[in-house]
């Protein structure tokens, strides 16, 4: 069991009294490391398998601060098979690290009140279907037992669907480098130990437990099991690689079908070239290019199942594209080129691909913007800063897909070092971002031409396939490609090799 010190606790009060909303409102904390004398840290498991499961969890996140419970960290989202009572729908699971002045029994009462507000019948079947379930797993380092409450939760060690989200809250590196929440960190390190013994990330992607991104209109997107391929659909006359090839909506739809037939899991529709020195379109000009194509793709019966991404750094275009049928936003600037992008994506509720870039396409290859002390560590730290800003705007961490930005504000050697050091980029990302799917896009980039001597972008597909395979072996979950067929074969080999490498650990 956990090595946790006992503390004196306030006596129990009547449940009816405790279910009254807490009137103390505190500003949301972004760190669980700093505490006042009256502030305590806890880890809470979240589950839902009735109704709109993700919406129920999001609503709970809004209600928690009203009861004096501030969320400091959120995990990824998981889908799991039901336990104990198996004849019921699958669950969405998550975990929260919170700060509160409430003692344990009052915290429990507040959580039960939130459950009832969201429709749970507390007298219903134990372990049966429920729109929301909130369990206290740890409260700092306490061991505590009284009627209706036991801390640590007595069954956390037998539940992978609890261990996995808890392990997301703080990476092992974070826990080892800094204290977290009055012995909560020690408890979470034990979670990491148990979860890694059970296989950790290698055990995900099965019918029993998998991570996913909620994708409005499509349901969920699970990326485990094999590398996902994003097919590039450029609606641009001046793209560095394939500009001017898709000059009509019909041509774009035909090419989209070709990409999907070759193995594309996602289509990325872009109307603006971001090659170095490219002229910038206005939002209206960009929208005029991409919206007709997105509408046409959503009307194709055979493409209904394929997620569509809009490649834009304009919040206005993102909003219009999602309204036209796009399912996610791919922003090469990570929100730096439009101050409204983060708040708009938060409002839209779609996955957000957040790429690293310095400057803009006209300045990104300047000496100042391509200078790094350590490109992997620097890119990771800057991605974390951008992600933190996105989360402050309301984008949940389980919607963020980091992209190190191969070819954007990096010179040739820097791109090679990034591919070799993707895990070092990840190390700089905190909490769930450390294990979110990472997208990498080396396709036909200039550094490949310098390495191979191929001046024409379309002649770099073999080099692209090799680079994509190396990205996968080093930790990429999604690769972006022009020639999907070539990249598909390369990453399938890389998937098989990586699986063997992981099994040998």
Q: How far is CA 93 from the centre of its chain?
A: 14
Strand partners, 88: none
Task: Give φ, ψ of 221 to 5 degrees.
Answer: -125, 110
Nearest-angstrom CA–CA distance, 469 and 463: 10
Helix/strand/coil (H/E/C) assignment for every residue in 324-389: HCCCEEEECCCCCCCCCHHHHHHHHCCCEEEECCCCCCCCCCCCCCCCCCCHHHHHHHHHHHHHHH
Dist. CA 179–CA 31, nearest whole Å: 11
Among 186, 226, 424, 445, the one annotated catalytic: 445
Cα–Cα distance measured from residue 252 to residue 234, given in angstroms and rounded to the nearest whole number = 8
Whole-number Å distance between alpha carbons of 190 and 157: 10
Distance (Å, whole) CA 435 – CA 498: 16
Q: Are 151 and 101 in contact (CB under 8 A)?
A: no
Marked catalytic residue, from 113, 130, 480, 488: 480
DSSP labels for 84-142? SS-SSPPEEEEEEEEEESS-HHHHHHHHHHHHHHTT--TTS-TT---S-EEEEEEETT-
257 catalytic per annotation:
no
Q: CA 291, 297, 298 angle in degrees (round to 5)?
A: 90
Alpha carbon distance 426, 383 (integer Å): 10
Distance CA(57)–CA(211), nearest Å, equals 15
Are 209 and 161 a contacting pair, CB within 8 Å? yes
Q: Is 186 a catalytic residue?
A: no
Looking at residue 198, the DSSP 8-state letter turns out to be T
- Cα(first)–Cα(last) distance of the chain, in Å? 27
Where in the sequence numbering do the catalytic residues fall?
A: 445, 480
């Amino acid at each position: 069991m956990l090595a946790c010190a006992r503390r004196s606790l306030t006596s129990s009060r009547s449940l009816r009294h405790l279910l009254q909303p807490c009137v103390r409102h505190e500003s949301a904390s972004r760190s669980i490391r700093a505490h006042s004398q009256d502030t305590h840290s806890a880890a809470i498991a979240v589950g839902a398998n009735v109704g709109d499961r993700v919406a129920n969890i999001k609503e709970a996140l809004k209600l928690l601060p009203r009861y004096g419970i501030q969320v400091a960290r959120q995990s990824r989202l998981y889908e799991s098979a039901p336990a104990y009572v198996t004849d019921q729908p699958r669950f969405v699971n998550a975990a929260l690290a919170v700060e509160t002045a409430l003692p344990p029994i009052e915290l429990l009462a507040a959580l039960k009140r939130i459950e009832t507000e969201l429709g749970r019948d507390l007298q219903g079947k134990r372990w049966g279907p429920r729109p929301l379930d909130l369990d206290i797993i740890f409260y700092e380092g306490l061991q505590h037992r009284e009627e209706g409450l036991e801390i640590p939760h007595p069954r956390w060690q037998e539940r992978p669907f609890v261990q996995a989200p808890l392990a997301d809250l703080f990476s092992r590196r974070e826990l080892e480098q800094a204290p977290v929440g009055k012995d909560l960190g020690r408890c979470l390190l034990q979670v990491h130990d148990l979860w890694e013994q059970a296989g950790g990330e290698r055990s995900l992607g099965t019918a029993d437990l998998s991570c996913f991104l909620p994708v409005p209109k499509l349901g969920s997107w699970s990326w485990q099991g094999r590398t996902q391929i994003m097919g590039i659909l450029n609606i641009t006359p001046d793209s560095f690689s394939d500009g001017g090839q898709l000059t009509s909506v019909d041509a774009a739809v035909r090419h989209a079908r070709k990409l999907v037939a070759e193995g594309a899991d996602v289509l990325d529709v872009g109307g603006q070239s971001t090659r170095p020195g490219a002229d910038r379109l206005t939002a209206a000009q960009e929208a005029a290019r991409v919206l007709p194509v997105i509408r046409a793709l959503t009307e194709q019966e055979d493409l209904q199942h394929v997620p569509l991404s809009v490649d834009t750094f304009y919040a206005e275009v993102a909003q219009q594209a999602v309204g036209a049928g796009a399912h996610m936003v791919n922003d090469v600037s990570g929100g730096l080129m439009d101050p409204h992008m983060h708040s708009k994506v938060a409002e839209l509720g779609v996955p957000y691909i957040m790429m690293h870039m310095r400057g803009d396409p006209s300045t990104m290859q300047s000496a100042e913007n391509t200078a790094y002390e350590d490109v992997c560590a620097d890119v990771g730290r800057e991605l974390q800063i951008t992600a933190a800003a996105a989360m402050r705007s309301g984008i949940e961490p389980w919607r963020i897909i980091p992209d190190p930005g191969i070819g954007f504000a990096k010179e040739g050697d820097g791109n090679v070092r990034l591919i070799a050091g993707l895990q070092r980029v990840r190390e700089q990302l905190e909490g769930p971002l450390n294990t979110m799917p990472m997208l990498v896009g080396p396709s036909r980039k200039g550094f490949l031409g310098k390495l191979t001597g191929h001046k024409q972008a379309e002649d770099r597909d073999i080099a692209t396939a090799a680079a994509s395979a190396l990205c996968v072996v080093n930790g990429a979950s999604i690769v972006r490609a022009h020639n999907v067929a070539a990249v598909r074969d390369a990453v399938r080999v890389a998937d098989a090799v990586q699986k063997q490498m992981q099994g040998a650990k």
